[in-house]
Chains A and B, each alone.
Chain A
Amino acid sequence: MRKKLSKVIAMILAIATAASVTAGCSKSDTGNAPAASEATTSEDSNITTKDGFFYSKEPVTFSMLFSDNSAYPYKDSWEFFKILQEKTNVKLDLTIVPMSDYNSKRSVLIASGQAPEIIPKTYPGSEDQYVTSGQILPISDYVNEMPNYSKEVKEWNLADDLKTIMQADGKYYVLPELHESFVQDYSLCVRTDILKKNNIKMPETWDEFESMLKQLKTLYPDVTPFSDRWQFGATMQIAGPAFVKTPTGLKGTDADWSGSPLYYNKDKDNFDFYPTMQEYKTELAYFNKLVKEGLMDKESATQTSDQAINKFVTGKSFVISCNAQQLKDYRKKMAANLGEGNFEVEKLNILSGPAGKNISGNRLENGILITQKAKEDKNFKTLLKFVDWLYYSYEGQEFCKWGVEGTHFTKDGNNYKLNDSYTLPDYGLNPDAKNAKDFRKDLGFASGVFILSYGGPNTLAYSYMADEDKKFSENVSKTCTLLPNAPKIAYDEDTKESQNMLESTLKDYMNQMSYKFILGQADLDKDWDSYVKTFDSKGATKYLETANAAYQEQKNK
């Protein structure tokens, strides 16, 4: 009797829970269809331009998610939003989310149907999970409403890049922010003062890199010249294009640098599985040699980034991987340890290998999702035009980066100058100005929600770069070839799940064995064959065949 009672209760509760869940889902589906046709006529006349700014004749309010960066925490008093509203007649109603938990909150809001109309800062790939929910608009259907975006895509030849974000239905759901030129940020950096002192040339190839390390080792026998951070994952990623023509990052404990184990062969227009390719073996053999000869620290694979940095900044190693921001950080720490003026560090150019001098990357960046709610808004068209203007027109991007000409900056040709009463030390603009207002913290400009620091049109991208970074970046673009992007294979729902599971098994094995081969715990001559065989038994062949079949089918559609 009692048991029955508790069963009944359990049933009731289960049903109640299920009902509340489904109720929430169905609610969002109502009112999809109408709106568009009625709104068009009156809306078109609503949008004009005024002083180079987008202008809505009727005052409108759009809701938007805002990622709050701790380096410049959101303030109600920010001038940025005030000026934006004055100039465009658009008010943004913000939901402020700390950046540490931005992605989780975005998921909750979308799943519960409470998401704002505009959701920026969504990295391509992370929108996949929302596609089936129906809460996010397939934005590719609306790009004809966005002249600035379409213009950039066309003029910068981004059609191939956009293939990397297409879903199975041939549409894309995230409106990516765009780069005119690809900007390489990560590279290796080296103590140039040591090189100069000993008359060693800056290497341009991986072979020259090896001989540089050898010379350093001879001169400083106590030092292991190359001790890497990020568990060597980033270096493998950078080296991949030179050996295998695809990034071959590894997954470390700090961060995951690994990508898809598939190599896109542009000539044949199909995919290969790179971990078993001969080229990858060559790459592993190269780094294994560095370890064997004592040129590369064995701990590179296991130490934390902090430990690696500490070795570098105290002069116990001479080479480490970096990006522009981290390089500044190393310099600061070296000044504290070695003393100002006792060191010089510079980024190495991307090194070339057997496959050439290549870089790999995508010119699409984190972008904007537009939710179903926006479509129900009677000012939907105004919203699209506003987003298009703010993120993709030159004027809009200039405003977000530099503010209003005259008030905040002056321009001489392509050279921008921030007025003396403002400072933006993060990008080296008026860093020492006295009594100046922080352009980012105090005024709200240059916020990562609205700009790509090194993206957009070249002029604006370079306007934020320090001379050193500009030089590096221009040198990379001049000397290296950007590899073609692998198109996205959009599997159907079931295949996607099984492919993902297979992929993670295969990647785990690849990761584990790659470290073993590099560190010499496995022998490249003896163990390679059994390594290739193990991949087969783990389903690598099936994985590759499924991928190629799905890709062919997708192409024929």
Chain B
Amino acid sequence: MIIKSKGYKTFRVINVFIMLLVIVITLFPVLNILAKSFSDLKNLTQNTVSIIPKGFNVDTYKTIMGDMDFWNDYKNTVIYTVLGTIISLVMTTMFAYALSVPRLMGKKFLTAFVVFTMFFNGGIIPNYMIVNGLHMRNTVWAIVVPGAISTFNLIVMRTFFEGIPKELEEAASIDGMNTYGILMRIIIPLSKPIIATMVLFYAVGMWNSWFSAFLYLDHTELLPVTIYLRNLIAGAMSATGADADSLGTVSVNIKYVTIVLTSVPILCVYPFLQKYFVQGVMIGSVKG
């Protein structure tokens, strides 16, 4: 039974109004950047572009997309992101589940071990020497392995697992399932929301990352697109006469174009993951 009181109606009106305002505020910069990326030199220097492109031009897109290095680096980014996300997800899930089991021996030690890394780390140079010593430099492994488990994500996931009623696991184990069976058939199917969140966190992180690539990769053909674009912007923005770029008009809106080119693909991931963000899968699973 739905009661539509006067108060409720006012609430709806105000609610919709506020939400619309939020949408406008968040959408404006996105549209502004999109419009600027398609505008020409004259309108950009006069600063007249708001959310509709003026003096439509795609020179910058053409210049960047006409470069084979760009596509090669884009391919690298996709590979690093997919592989990195899979590895991170598997490792984090396994570790987080283990930590969520109360009867695990040395649980306190392992937790302390993990949390320790949130406060202290070896620093860039020791890390570099480890990666170098393991002969991972200039391979994809240098990008996807060292940061495979993010401590923050691990703790989030462990907390989620701890929230799953223990009775479900007990029931499964009475029915003869071992630990791996419980993880694969009970825990993971119940954890779709958290897994979707982790995929998003890891994929976006990997997509945007450039630091480990900059550190461990010495050949241009291995670099991800983030570094390619970073270097492009550095070139276009440099004020020194000697090394200045020949990009010309391109340099004016290169910032906007690079933002569009790098964010669009990863933005497309969101709608596909959204359906997993469902609450209440476990309501009523434990009775009495």
Contact = CB atoms under 8 A, between A and B. Distances in A.
Interface of A: 2, 5-6, 9-10, 13, 17, 20-21, 24, 68-71, 73-74, 95-101, 104-105, 108, 111-112, 114, 185, 230, 255, 309-310, 313-314, 323-326, 329, 332-333, 336-337, 425-426, 448, 452-454
A73 B219 CA distance: 12
B61 interface: no
Contact of A314 (B45, B123, B128, B214): B45
B126 A310 contact: no
Nearest to A109: B128
Interface of B: 40-42, 45-47, 67, 69, 108-109, 112-113, 116, 120, 122-126, 128-130, 132, 214-215, 218-220, 223, 227-228, 230-236, 239-249, 251-252
Contact of A20 (B67, B129, B228, B249): B129
Contact of A313 (B45, B227, B246): B45
A51 B228 CA distance: 39
Residue among A2, A6, A336 with the highest chain B CB neighbour number at 10 A = A336
Contacts of B223: 98
A24 B251 CA distance: 42
Nearest to B248: A332
B128 A114 contact: yes
Contacts of B242: 448, 452-454
B234 to A, nearest CB: 4
30 contacts: A5-B109, A9-B112, A9-B113, A17-B122, A20-B122, A21-B123, A21-B125, A21-B126, A24-B129, A68-B220, A70-B235, A71-B243, A71-B245, A73-B220, A95-B218, A97-B214, A98-B214, A98-B230, A99-B231, A101-B230, A104-B214, A112-B128, A112-B129, A114-B128, A185-B241, A313-B45, A332-B248, A336-B40, A336-B249, A453-B242
Given A9-B109, A96-B218, A230-B239, 18 more contacts: A9-B116, A13-B116, A17-B126, A20-B130, A21-B122, A69-B243, A70-B231, A71-B247, A100-B231, A100-B233, A104-B214, A114-B128, A310-B45, A310-B46, A314-B46, A336-B45, A337-B46, A426-B244
A407 B251 CA distance: 33
Give the top 9 A-B pairs by smallest Cβ distance, nearest first.
Answer: A70-B235, A100-B234, A98-B231, A325-B244, A71-B245, A325-B241, A336-B42, A453-B242, A336-B41
Contacts of A96: 218-220
Contacts of A332: 41, 248-249
B239 to A, nearest CB: 7
Residue among A20, A98, A332 with the highest chain B CB neighbour number at 10 A = A98
B41 A333 contact: yes
A454 B241 CA distance: 9
Main secondary structure of the interface of A (DSSP, over half): helix
B117 to A, nearest CB: 9
B246 A71 contact: yes
Given A6-B112, A112-B128, A310-B46, A324 B241 contact: yes
B170 to A, nearest CB: 28
A425 to B, nearest CB: 6
Given A101-B214, A337-B42, A426-B244, A326 B239 contact: yes
Contacts, number: 131
A71 B241 CA distance: 13
Contact of B45 (A74, A324, A333, A425): A333
Contacts of B247: 71
A105 B45 CA distance: 35
Contacts of B252: 333
A111 B124 CA distance: 10
A261 B29 CA distance: 42
Contacts of B244: 71, 325, 426
A419 B219 CA distance: 32
Contacts of A452: 242
B210 to A, nearest CB: 8
Contacts of B219: 96
A17 B123 CA distance: 10
A426 B41 CA distance: 20
A333 B252 CA distance: 10
A324 B247 CA distance: 16
A58 to B, nearest CB: 26
Contact of B246 (A111, A337, A426): A426
Contacts of B125: 21, 24, 108, 111-112
A329 B239 CA distance: 11
A326 B239 CA distance: 7
A524 to B, nearest CB: 31
Contacts of B129: 20, 24, 112
A548 B182 CA distance: 76
B214 A2 contact: no
A333 B45 CA distance: 7
A332 B249 CA distance: 8
Contact of B218 (A97, A324, A453): A97
Contact of A323 (B120, B126, B239): B239
Contacts of A323: 239-241
Given A332-B41, A425-B246, A100 B128 contact: no
A6 B110 CA distance: 10
Contacts of A70: 231-232, 234-236, 245
A68 B231 contact: yes
Nearest to A453: B242
B235 A71 contact: yes
A464 to B, nearest CB: 10
A336 B253 CA distance: 15
Nearest to A313: B45
